[in-house]
Chains A and B, each alone.
Chain A
């Protein structure tokens, strides 16, 4: 019970860990709620409910607190009806309950124009772009990374160039990708690919090199030869670390999504966000951003859970 909260590299009790994990979400939410619901905090604007005698005010308008105070004083001095209103936050900071409502309403709001996509359709587009970009990258990148990590010759002929190419920012290839691949999903997938692939090869080859060489030596003294060495020792030996790498890399792929979707015809969740921001539906904007976060976290947790089932020898470690 007297266990300290701060001890270097010591695990806390499960209860304390749970409390802190919950707090890590509750604290930002509490801060957001405080700013949103207590009129004393921030609230730099006034939402006009009755314009009174001020000619350019109208009901539902947001005006700066100072302007509102000046106009109220002027009206009072002149004996004219005083404008009414209550303090509010700027339109770009909706309250938590509004965003919470938007989680539902964003899905049920019909697009403004026919032919535009619903939120779930936009999301599905985004997920497809991520999936194909990451899939194509992995299909080439993972085998190449493993070969680079296993055979010095393959590493030497590939890695210097990849090392150079990974510093070229993926979004810089946007215009080129559109010129070559058209304006639809292909250039977007290409951006995700460029953003993921070069890192992936280097990360995977590095992971492969970390395999304990004694395992390869043991396999050699047991009669393993070339291909058996690769398929029976190297690949199973790194597969758990590889899986962790892939989870991290998938997170990186998501960060390229927003840029990728602005290329060519803007689409997917990014299109939805920019569109909603244009209509000043900031509650929908927040909801959409959070949906990305939720999808990302949920995928990662799912993969972590799956990993424990796929690799049983890790369970007891």
Chain B
């Protein structure tokens, strides 16, 4: 517990306690040596290489990495929408093949069914489970209440804002009572304010429901704010770079964004994703080779 400077490895006693307890919880998702190669006209590219990690029950794990690190491919394999080239995915110890309702998914593009009302969208998974219309409707109402959209249950998705759509998508995925909720940059298309509100919502929901969340993002603040642990990937090929335990204590509010633990963790990930070695490369990009495109003797010669 050194005072100054704070490292992302420093954990307060309560945080360290929490991680000790967290590690003792049963493992929900276990990923072993997952590899994925794509074949582009005979040229093999490795999207994911030897990814291994596990998530514990009710844990919130974020996956972050530069573009091209295969984080979307990873979550699609976990959801069963793509198949891995090798390696295995175990859910509660059982290998998974293909998509299934025990791994719910929230997509960046909302993917609500436009022909169904909010209520019917949330009922979709419940009805697939074989529940009667009445039961499904009653349960759907509870989930809709939970995301605060009871006034909109008979609206169609096209009548909702982006944030509302994503709340319906979360309610719809949770209604099927998945063991793990996979979220693929769910707030990426939202404006900054709505995104902040949705992050707070999500933490609130997660606290109240027995669900494990695996959350993909490219936003550092989002990852540090939400996660218990952060899986940092690197690109070409996509590999696990580090699995970080976030030392920011719960409950987290807007105030924690400026806490020393938050800033230290953020700085560390920043450095992992954009290492200083690449500085010379990015520096040359800052000084773009521009020809001055103003007329000689232009009235405004400089913007400063």
Contacts and interface: CB of A to CB of B under 8 A. Distances in A.
Interface in A179-227: 212, 214-215, 217-225
A311 interface: yes
Contact of A219 (B124, B129, B156): B124
Interface string B263-284: 0000000000000000000000
Interface string B107-129: 10101111110000000110011
B162 interface: no
Contacts of A236: 113, 115-116
Interface residues of B, number: 30
A233 B173 CA distance: 16
B81 A220 contact: yes
B56 to A, nearest CB: 22
**Which of under 10, 10 to 19, 20 to 34, or 35 or more describes the interface residues of A?**
20 to 34
B259 interface: no
Contacts of B100: 221, 223
A298 interface: no
A80 interface: no
B63 interface: no
Nearest to B99: A220
A10 to B, nearest CB: 23
A215 B172 CA distance: 13
A217 B111 contact: yes
A236 B98 CA distance: 24
A268 B129 CA distance: 55
A223 B125 contact: yes
A199 B247 CA distance: 63
Nearest to B128: A223
A165 B158 CA distance: 40
Question: 10 shortest A-B CB distances, which residue pairs?
Answer: A223-B101, A222-B125, A220-B99, A218-B111, A223-B128, A221-B105, A313-B156, A236-B115, A214-B111, A316-B159
Interface of B: 79-81, 98-101, 103-105, 107, 109, 111-116, 124-125, 128-129, 156-159, 172-173, 176, 182
